[in-house]
């Protein structure tokens, strides 16, 4: 059989193609996982932003921040909309309050070592975002 009539791939060619594909996946996978983790932070940011709006409405009505999350969001609403974070008031009432979104243990965000807990501190109408601006995708 002449070389012109051969069809198909050799084992070496297939092995090289698979090795190149595996190398590309190995390089791209960590970056993709980091981007997914960053995108899922939006669940906590959205929940904290809603608590902030509710706290400001409560403050406008009663003159101070609410010491109770259920007064703002209703009973049984301590989770973020997608269920990735637990939302809780850490401390304070009156003129200042801190709200935290903690990644649920065993959840997909539990591996987010940089932003396992995202906080929002409200002090007389001013907001401080923590622990870093990066956690707030800024």
53 within domain boundaries = yes
Give 86's pLDDT tier (boundaries 50, 70, 90): very high
Q: Give residue 18's domain range.
A: 9-136
CATH number, domain containing residue 73? 3.30.700
Q: What is the pLDDT of residue 97?
A: 93
Q: CA-based Rg of the chain, rounded to a whole angstrom? A: 24
Query: Could you tell me which of 43, 51, 41, 38 has the C-alpha nearest to residue 98?
Result: 51
Digit-coded pLDDT (tens) for 87-115:
998 877 778 999 999 999 988 898 888 89
Q: What is the pLDDT of residue 4?
A: 64
Query: Buried b / exposed e across 1-12, counting CB within 10 Å, b at 16+?
Result: eeeeeeeeeeee
Say whether pLDDT at 1 is over 70: no
Q: How would you write 87-134 as a 3-class SS string?
A: EEEEEEEECEEEEEEEECCCCHHHHCCCCCEEEEEEECCEEEEECCHH
Q: What is the pLDDT of residue 69?
A: 85
44 within domain boundaries = yes
3 within domain boundaries = no
Query: Could you tell me which of 42, 54, 115, 36 has the C-alpha nearest to residue 81?
Result: 42
pTM over 0.85: no
Number of domains in the chain: 1
Digit-coded pLDDT (tens) for 12-65:
989 999 999 999 888 888 888 888 888 899 999 999 999 999 999 999 999 999
1 within domain boundaries = no
2 within domain boundaries = no
106 within domain boundaries = yes
4 within domain boundaries = no
């Amino acid at each position: 059989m002449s070389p012109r009539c051969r069809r198909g791939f050799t084992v070496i060619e297939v092995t090289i193609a698979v090795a190149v594909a595996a190398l590309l996946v190995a390089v791209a996978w960590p970056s993709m996982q980091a981007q997914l983790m960053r995108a899922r932070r939006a669940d906590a940011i959205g929940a904290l932003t809603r608590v902030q709006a509710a706290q400001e409405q409560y403050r406008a009505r009663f003159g101070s921040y609410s010491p109770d999350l259920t007064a703002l969001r209703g009973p049984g609403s301590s989770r973020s909309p997608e269920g990735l974070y637990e939302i809780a008031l850490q401390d304070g009432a009156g003129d200042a309050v801190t709200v935290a979104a903690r990644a649920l243990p065993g959840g997909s965000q539990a591996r987010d070592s940089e932003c396992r807990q995202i906080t929002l501190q409200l002090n007389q109408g001013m907001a401080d975002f923590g622990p870093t601006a990066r956690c707030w995708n800024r």
